[in-house]
Chain A
């Protein structure tokens, strides 16, 4: 179902619950994935994603350009995630929570084996993301996972474009190293 985004946003701003439901359905997958990429725990990510949508709802009237809605949404999500991580660092959990199982993959593979491999690799990547520095994790989440253009990331992170560009390759290499370390080296080949 293709809904006109400008009209949808206007209806949401007027308080139309149905329009808001459609908007949430359209973007819930992306927001949950961003939250998951940042916090690395599924339950925590889902709670955070709900908070993000509540924030979005409260600030809907400040979004005046429907074409820039996605960038606006991602900016709110990113700031909420950074804020959340900062609070978590200030008040760490009493014990480590084991990495959550990520089972609800939107992109299914052709066979159950493919799904299993993909699911296992995605779990591995989420664990590896938590090993990265904050800036590298943000670049992986925003560029490699969400596919945002470098210019937009530069604005979001308040960093020069050149820095984002040079960080980009380095971040992916750091992620590959973290994955290989977690996987014990030989595992990378074994699952490929």
Chain B
């Protein structure tokens, strides 16, 4: 290694700098790349000596090394931050307003269990910030592949659907003839069936009606929120705020999850818990 006094001379420093600029370029990049290893004692032998020699003469890298030296013990000390006494009161006040649903002791069975599992799966997925955008993107790609390319298996579907809507359900392929047959059978046997089962059908219809009304009632708030998200999304799209569109899409999908769970369960709160 060269004599230290030579390098303390500004001319000698400039000379080394000039030589490096005409040959390899400054060695700062290589030195900084090894700083982390040097600070954590993972650098040994000649590599260690070379980096240390560079630091001795390069003020910029030396400052960086000094900063890394105090950063290493400081960062773990920032793992906790005392928020003050008001914080706890704020959290407790807010969580006391939120309805609490205890974990069910046993998993639900049947359709309710399936709906519950679907709802929980949805809640977990929706926690991922990227999920809404990924889901929307995937759904668009699938729709385009299914209906909009020359080789799509369902490429005529939108056109056929339009025809069915225009001409009535009897013209629908596959289902249409079946509907026509069913209609004829009902014409012949309907009177007898209606006489015999009128009461049962009426009871069943009333039950369904009440159940539907209850579901509509308990999802009113969430559906209104969903409506708001939709309007906000349109506004953000018009303003070309992509970030805002993403956020509203995410919030809207989260609300869809809440509506879904409220529709199938009568003990779900406004927050979906």
Contacts and interface: CB of A to CB of B under 8 A. Distances in A.
18 contacts: A32-B83, A36-B81, A57-B95, A57-B98, A62-B120, A62-B123, A83-B129, A86-B129, A105-B81, A122-B78, A125-B75, A172-B36, A173-B36, A173-B64, A188-B64, A188-B67, A188-B70, A192-B66
A118 B76 CA distance: 12
Given A173-B36, A188-B63, A32 B87 contact: yes
Interface in A104-149: 104-107, 118, 121-122, 125, 140, 144-147
Given A17-B92, A33-B80, A58 B272 contact: yes
Nearest to B241: A90
B82 interface: yes
State the majority secondary structure of interface residues on B. Answer: helix
B83 A37 contact: no
Nearest to B39: A172
Given A57-B98, A83-B250, A90-B244, 5 more contacts: A29-B79, A30-B80, A50-B90, A53-B94, A125-B78
Given A61-B101, A86-B129, A86-B247, A104 B82 contact: yes
Interface in A29-81: 29-30, 32-33, 36-37, 45-46, 49-50, 53-54, 57-62, 64, 75-76, 79
B95 A30 contact: no
Contact of A37 (B62, B78, B101): B78
Interface string A147-171: 1000000000000000000000100
Contacts of A122: 74, 77-78
A50 to B, nearest CB: 5
A148 B225 CA distance: 37
Contacts of A94: none
A160 to B, nearest CB: 17
B60 to A, nearest CB: 7
State the majority secondary structure of interface residues on A. Answer: helix
Contact of A121 (B70, B82, B90, B244): B70
Contact of B68 (A24, A49, A173): A173
**Across chains A and B, which 9 residue pairs bring their CB atoms closest together, nearest first?**
A90-B243, A29-B80, A61-B103, A169-B36, A104-B82, A33-B81, A90-B244, A144-B75, A58-B273
B83 A49 contact: yes
Interface residues of B, number: 57
Contacts of A146: 79
A172 B71 contact: yes
Interface residues of A, number: 67
Contacts of A79: 127-129
Contacts of A144: 75-76
A82 B128 CA distance: 10
A104 B85 CA distance: 11
Contact of B32 (A59, A60, A173, A186): A173
B102 A13 contact: yes
Contacts of A17: 92, 96
Contacts, number: 169
B222 to A, nearest CB: 14
Contacts of B10: none
Contacts of B244: 90-91
Nearest to A13: B103
Given A57-B95, A186-B63, A147 B120 contact: no
A192 B247 contact: no
Interface in B144-167: none
Nearest to A102: B81
A105 B103 CA distance: 37
B75 A145 contact: yes
B83 A29 contact: yes
B82 A105 contact: yes
B128 A58 contact: no
Q: Which residue, B68, B80, B98, has most C-beta atoms of chain A within 10 A? A: B80
A35 to B, nearest CB: 9
Given A24-B88, A90-B243, A176 B78 contact: no
Q: Which residue, B67, B79, B247, B250, has most C-beta atoms of chain A within 10 A? A: B67
A25 B82 contact: no
Contact of B95 (A54, A147, A179): A54
